[in-house]
Structure 1
Amino acid sequence: MIEPLLNGGRQDGIGVYTAALQRHLPAAGCQVSAFSYPRWGADASVISVGQALPQSFEAATLRDLIAPKAHRMHMPVDIFHTPDYRLVRMDCPQVASLHDALPISHPEWCNPRLRGLKNWLQRSATRKADHVIALSHFAIDELVSCFGIDDSRVSVVPCGIDDGWLAAPAPAAVRATLAANGLREGYFLFVGTLQPRKNVERIIAAWQRLPTATRAERQLVLVGSSGWRCEDTVRRIDGARQRGEHIVWLNALTDSTALRHVYAGAGVFVFPSLYEGFGIPVVEAMGAGVPVVTSNTSSLPEVSAGAAVEVDPLDVDALSAAMQALAEQPALRAHCIAAGVARAATLTWRETARQTAAVYHRVLSR
C-alpha cells in the first residue's frame, strides 16, 4: 500500500487539486496521510489540515540551505507528494506537482513582492523532487524552458471534475440558487479570480459589443473574488452596473453546490484566459453541459480538445462574435455541448487519482 503525504492548501486551484487527490486516492489503492506545515514561530499544533510536519516550511528550507547534506526530515510515509512548490529534503522519495512557470514566463502577471521567491522555490522543488507532475503538455514545455528540468522526470496528469458534475442537478434547486443571486437563466458566465491574466476586462468589452437585445436577454455573470491588480476591472464592473447594464459580480460565492447550480443556469461559458497551466473551470462548464468559448493559447486548446470555440484572447471582436454564435446558433450550441460533455467525462478526479497513483508506483519501483 502506498502512503503519499499531502500538505494542505487554500481553496484556489491548488487547494481544489489537493482536496480532490485526498478524496480519490484511496480508491486508487493509496492510503493517504494529510500533513500541513506549521506556521513559522507559531504553535505547531495550529495547522490547517491533518497532522503537523516536524518543522515549518521556512525553518526546514533554511536548514536545507545552511546544511544541505545534514540529516533529512524524517517522515513515516512511503512517498511524499506536495501539490505545490513547498518541498524540503526528506528521507523518502518525493513527487511535486508544478502547475505552471508563470512567475518566469510572464512576470508581469505576478505580484512582484512574491515573484522572486516563487521562482526560487519552484527551481528548488525541481531539484529536490524525484519526479514532477505537470497538468498539461503545455506546462511541461514551460517547465523545461524556464527551469531546465529533464522532461524524462515529468509526467502529465490532467486535472478533472468529480463525477457528480456530469449529472444534472435538480431544476428546482437551480432555480432557487439563481433567484437568490438575481440571475436569469441563459446568461454568459465567467468563473475565476479577477486578475490581469484572466482577461476579464475583454470579456466585459466583448459582452458590451453584443446587440442590445442580446444583452437585455442574457446577463454577464462574473464569479470570483478580487485578485492582484484588479482595481481597473472592479471599476469597470462598478461603472457598468451604475449605468444599469446587466452585469452581476458574485464575489463571495464559495459553496460548491451553489456554484454547480450557477454553471447549470448559464447559456454560454466564457473563459478567454491569457495563460493557464490547465484551466479547471473549462472542464467544469463542459461537464455541466454548457457550451464554452475559450482561448487558443497556453494549455486551453489541449484541455478543450476541440470541444469549445477557440478565439484569440486579445481580439475582442472575435470573442464577442463567438459569444453571440454560441448563444444564437442551435447547431453550434448542440455540437459544443455534446462534445464538451464527452470530453469532460474523460477528465475526472477519479482518473487523475489513478494516474497519480501510477506515478507513485513508478517512482517507488526505481
Structure 2
Amino acid sequence: MSAPRIGLSATALEPGLADARQDGIARYTQALLDELPAAGCAVRPLSFAPPGAPACLRVGRALPLSFALASIGDLILPASARLAVRELGQDGQPLDLFHATDHRIVRMDCPVVATLHDALPIAHPAWCAPRRRRLQNWLLVKAARKADHVIALSQHAVPELVGAYGIDERRVSVVHPGVAPAWFDAPGADAVAATLQRHGLRPGYFLCVATLEPRKNLAHLLQAYLALPPVVRAARQLLIVGQAGWDSAPLAQRIAAARQQGEQVLWLAGVPEQDELRQLYAGAGAFALPALHARAGLAMLEALAAGVPVLCAAGGALAELAGGAALEADPLSVPEWTAALHAIVRDEALRARCVAAGQRRALELTQAEMARRTLAVYQSILTQ
C-alpha cells in the first residue's frame, strides 16, 4: 500500500488560534506531525482559521471554512453535505484521510479519524467549569459522532467515551500516547544544579507536574505529604509544577498556608521550557500523581523515561499506562498515599525496581511507536 496522504489538524499548534488550556493536545499534535512522516505518511497540517486569519498561520494552511461556519453547515445542511478538503493534499495529490486531533470535528469529503482525549464535561461535569456547559456538551456529542473512527488514549477511557458520546465501540481504537526521545537523555549535572539553586530546591524532592484542578487530586497529595514524619519532610521538599486551572484557588490557599507554617512545599505556577523541566525531573527523588482522571498521563511517562521512580493512582488510566512499572496507591486514601510516599524514598530496592521497570515501559511508549500505531489505524480504515 502506498503512503497514505493525511490531513492533520494543526489548529492547536497555531499561536493565534490555540487555547492555552490545550497544551497537551498541542504536544500530541506536534508529536504526530514530527513522527508520522518517518512512519510512512505524507502529512499536510491544516487548521480551522477564522476569516482574515489564514495569513497568520505558521504551521500549515487554512481549511476552506472556519470551524464555526463548518459546524453550522453540518447542522443545517443534509448529511450528504461534506466540507471539501480532499484537494488540499500536496503535490497535486488528494488527501486520503483527515485526522482531527482535538474537538473540532466536521463532516468532510474524506474519512475522518478523531482523537477524543476525554469526555470530562459530560461524564464528570463537577470537574469542569459550568459556563455554557449544556450547549458545549451538546456540540461535543454532535461533533464526536461525525468521526468515521475514534482514537482513545487508553483502554480505560473507552467506556467513558462510548457512554458519553454514544459512539460505536467497534469504531474505537486505543493508541497510547508517546514520550519524546529527549526524555531518555539525562541533562548535564551543572545545568541541573543551577536550576535547583535558582528555585531553592535540594535534590531528592517529591515532584508533581500537573495543572491545579480538582480532577488531579493534588489536595490529597499535599495532605499525604504533610502526614509524613517530620524528619522525612525536612529532608524531602514537595514541588508542584503546573498552571492554575479551574477551581484551583482552594488548593493554592492550602499551599500558601503550609508554607506559612514552615512546610517545604513549593509551587511553580506555569510549566517551564522543556530543558528546564527535564532538569527539574532529574533533581527529583520521586514523581507522584494521584489524579482521579487523566487524559494522556504524559508527565508520568516523561518521569518513567527520565529514570524517576513513579507513584501513581491505582485503577485508572495512569496505572494502565504505567503497565506495572509504578508504585500504585488508592487516590482516595490519604493514609495509603502517605505510606507509599514514605516507601518510595525509604526503600532503595523498591526505587531501583521502579526505575528499571519505568525505563523499560517508557521504551514501549515512544512518540515513534505512537505514530506507527496511529498509521495502523489509518490503514485499517483505508483498506475497508
The whole-number CA distance in structure 2 between the counterparts of 1:177 and 1:19 is 27
Residue 221 of structure 1: how far off its partner (Å)? 0.3
Whether the aligned pair in 2 keeps the contact of 1:293 and 1:323 (CA below 8 Å) is yes
Residue 48 of structure 1: how far off its partner (Å)? 6.0
1:91 aligns with 2:109: yes
Whether the aligned pair in 2 keeps the contact of 1:37 and 1:47 (CA below 8 Å) is no
Structure 1 equivalent of residue 82 of structure 2? 72
Deviates more, 1:80-89 or 1:64-73: 64-73
Structure 1 equivalent of residue 72 of structure 2? 62
The whole-number CA distance in structure 2 between the counterparts of 1:70 and 1:42 is 28
Structure 2 equivalent of residue 106 of structure 1? 124
The whole-number CA distance in structure 1 between the counterparts of 2:66 and 2:135 is 16
Deviates more, 1:119-128 or 1:76-85: 119-128
Whether the aligned pair in 1 keeps the contact of 2:54 and 2:61 (CA below 8 Å) is no
Structure 2 equivalent of residue 46 of structure 1? 56
Unaligned runs of 5+ in 2: 13-17, 89-94
**For residues 79 and 297 of structure 1, do their structure 2 counterparts lie closer, same or farther at Cα, with a shift above 3 Å needed?**
same
Q: Which amino acid aligns with 1:247?
A: V
1:186 aligns with 2:188: no
Question: What SS is found at the alignment partner of 2:373?
Answer: helix
Question: What SS is found at the alignment partner of 1:235?
Answer: helix
Residue 163 of structure 1: how far off its partner (Å)? 2.1
Whether the aligned pair in 1 keeps the contact of 2:145 and 2:165 (CA below 8 Å) is no
**For residues 4 and 120 of structure 1, do their structure 2 counterparts lie closer, same or farther at Cα, with a shift above 3 Å needed?**
farther
Whether the aligned pair in 2 keeps the contact of 1:38 and 1:46 (CA below 8 Å) is no
Structure 2 equivalent of residue 169 of structure 1? 187
Deviates more, 1:88-97 or 1:71-80: 71-80
Q: Which amino acid aligns with 2:31?
A: A
Unaligned runs of 5+ in 1: none
Deviations along 1:303-328, one digit per CA (max 9) or x if unpaired, are 11111111111111110110010011
Whether the aligned pair in 1 keeps the contact of 2:240 and 2:267 (CA below 8 Å) is yes
Q: Which amino acid aligns with 2:270?
A: A
Deviations along 1:215-258, one digit per CA (max 9) or x if unpaired, are 11111000000000001011111122222221111113330111
Whether the aligned pair in 1 keeps the contact of 2:9 and 2:98 (CA below 8 Å) is no
The whole-number CA distance in structure 1 between the counterparts of 2:262 and 2:52 is 49
Provide runs of 4+ in structure 1 moved above 4 Å.
none
Structure 2 equivalent of residue 21 of structure 1? 32
Whether the aligned pair in 1 keeps the contact of 2:6 and 2:42 (CA below 8 Å) is yes
Q: Which amino acid aligns with 1:262?
A: L
Question: What SS is found at the alignment partner of 1:339?
Answer: helix
Deviates more, 1:136-145 or 1:91-100: 136-145
Deviates more, 1:296-305 or 1:192-201: 296-305
Residue 167 of structure 1: how far off its partner (Å)? 2.1
Structure 2 equivalent of residue 5 of structure 1? 7
Residue 114 of structure 1: how far off its partner (Å)? 4.7
Return the TM-score normalized by structure 2: 0.91
1:121 to 126, 129, 139: 139
The whole-number CA distance in structure 2 between the counterparts of 1:142 and 1:358 is 23
Q: Which amino acid aligns with 2:257?
A: G
Deviates more, 1:223-232 or 1:65-74: 65-74
Return the TM-score normalized by structure 1: 0.95
The whole-number CA distance in structure 2 between the counterparts of 1:313 and 1:213 is 24
Whether the aligned pair in 1 keeps the contact of 2:7 and 2:45 (CA below 8 Å) is yes
Residue 107 of structure 1: how far off its partner (Å)? 0.9
Whether the aligned pair in 2 keeps the contact of 1:138 and 1:277 (CA below 8 Å) is no
Residue 115 of structure 1: how far off its partner (Å)? 3.1
Question: What SS is found at the alignment partner of 1:276?
Answer: coil
Deviations along 1:85-129, one digit per CA (max 9) or x if unpaired, are 211111111100011222222110011125334432332233211
Whether the aligned pair in 1 keeps the contact of 2:99 and 2:114 (CA below 8 Å) is yes
**For residues 233 and 328 of structure 1, do their structure 2 counterparts lie closer, same or farther at Cα, with a shift above 3 Å needed?**
same
Deviates more, 1:99-108 or 1:58-67: 99-108
Structure 2 equivalent of residue 35 of structure 1? 46
**For residues 207 and 156 of structure 1, do their structure 2 counterparts lie closer, same or farther at Cα, with a shift above 3 Å needed?**
same
1:322 aligns with 2:324: no
Question: What SS is found at the alignment partner of 1:146?
Answer: helix
Whether the aligned pair in 2 keeps the contact of 1:274 and 1:297 (CA below 8 Å) is no
The whole-number CA distance in structure 1 between the counterparts of 2:6 and 2:137 is 25
Residue 42 of structure 1: how far off its partner (Å)? 5.0
Q: Which amino acid aligns with 1:33?
A: R
Residue 70 of structure 1: how far off its partner (Å)? 5.9
